[in-house]
Structure 1
């Protein structure tokens, strides 16, 4: 059975599946003003519709005859992988819900009985996430076209420079005018560069964002001006840009113990500085990127700077990125618990790290003073987790299964289950919270 409730564009399409017509009617009354609804009571009818019609969001009940919601969402993912998938489920179905999250790519789930406002809010967040994905795809295509245009412009300018000084002055004026109107584009380019780092390194988007947010927070705690804090944030966001210049062989050789990386891999800050300095408006970022691997005692790379000779942004980024590497580094085969990572780094205060900045960083993580007007992400041991904390990254177990999802609010019951997990598997969990 199927009925379509039409809605004017640009409403997103929402497919509803529940084998109880009364529930479908209730959902239809609640959501008809916000979405273009397509309603089904039979899973096979819904799948047949998806075979030939694009849908933006799919919302399914868990308990149904013939096929449960987890199975349906898994099949729907094969047909329309870009659609957002949500599940309505009861507490007793938690095992099936976890399976749906892992196998069906479920964005979120809604507990029965639901509250109307919470259900609408969850759907609104899913819709926003869906639109952001579409916008990111369009932006990437736009940036590619913009980069081609900028390349052509630069080639033209180089020819004119060799011909006459007057032409150079005219070209500079045009470029300055163009840069004055491209402030937003610059931020888009930075986002594109960050996305390029993610693609090349295989790190999650949250990796560099977390390091950037923590670096900015340390700078602010040290009393730096907003402009300098912002500059350090951008440096940290792009601190791995040089990795795109490494060969596949260099990337493949990053088998590490502790924080000692392959020599070729350690050269990426210099490559990154050379890349960034080619973009005039990003040139002030180069020194913090170039010297991020210097040691406070002068034994680091590439220039063996020591003490205050090392740019303060580089000293901050060094501490934050090394801590993140010790507890969550993709290429770190011997990850440490948060407490052990702090102990390891304190032992190297005065040799590798600026002791004063290290104290500021660890105090920041422990006090967790969140400014409501700014973002921040914290790296926490289970002992530091509190009810009400919200995860900024999925908690993925060693076997690859997702235990808790991004955006989930922590409660006492979850904390107790995490304690049991640590005890049963003799391990330590690291969590990331907003």
Structure 2
């Protein structure tokens, strides 16, 4: 047996030549090596079959007539071991029977007669090796596609699981945010109502005026199409605009500012700073506190306390400033009817559009002017009743105040046995029964 190198590493692609004639093997080996092809030569087909354990052959060139095993039988066994390996039969006999046997048994890819023409043999060898290479590439690509499809399937399954899990997490977070938002709204409302009661309890401060300012702030915010949060906070600033006065001498606010001395006016205009300090623990009212603190800023920059100009002034402060001055002008009007007093107040603030007030906010006030004296309507059927007529489950349609203007219950309160009992006790001390607007029981 003659061979080039039986220790060639696994996966090295070679051409395997099988022939019992040593001269033929030498001729084939020399021809292939001269043409830079790797070749292994073997003179025994049985020994050649063992080479497939450690080698990958791209092409087998086998003689037909061999003593222990003919070419057709050998190539048939090769096809079982390496079906993609190309197979060429080399025969010195031109009879049809041997060729047919090789085609049927070994399913050869070509045959060449001895003596061969080098050009023809080399062309057949190179074509066969190219076919083997293409088959191998195609097989590798199929495996790669199969692997990638499997990975994609697993990825899709994992992605679906992740999306489902993430969707549940997002829903949970949104629910938590909704709950937190509701708690925040309740905290806003409760704090404002509590502080508003302090204003109403002071005999020198007008709770009705605070409520009017609050309603006007709401109307302006709605016409300006501010954010939902800004619209919710706008009336709170109106309700609490005077809260800082509670820490001051009543002499500073029991009469109009125009009648105060210069020193008293300086002290009076510090009440927004006092309000800011009072509201500091209520972190959830930061925007409200900011609006109150800057309520005396002017659009042209000649205001207090920072002298802010134009849009540098918080929008809540600009809305509050206009609403407050509108109702102060309303109180100072000498007209005899409320309608005329409203018109006087509007004309007064319009004179300062672009100097004291943002023109856009003045236009919003003018657009909402017709609603300033309207009461807020309630949805659904309502009933006016006394405390003695209340029943559990009834819903309060409007906030309930005592004769001093102090808020007793907020709008939306669901009456319980305990709250009804307390109202009935208070009603016994009043000269006239409460007029309570309620909606149907839930």
Q: TM-score, normalised by structure 1?
A: 0.40
Please say which structure displays the higher CA radius of gyration. Answer: 2
Q: TM-score, normalised by structure 2?
A: 0.39
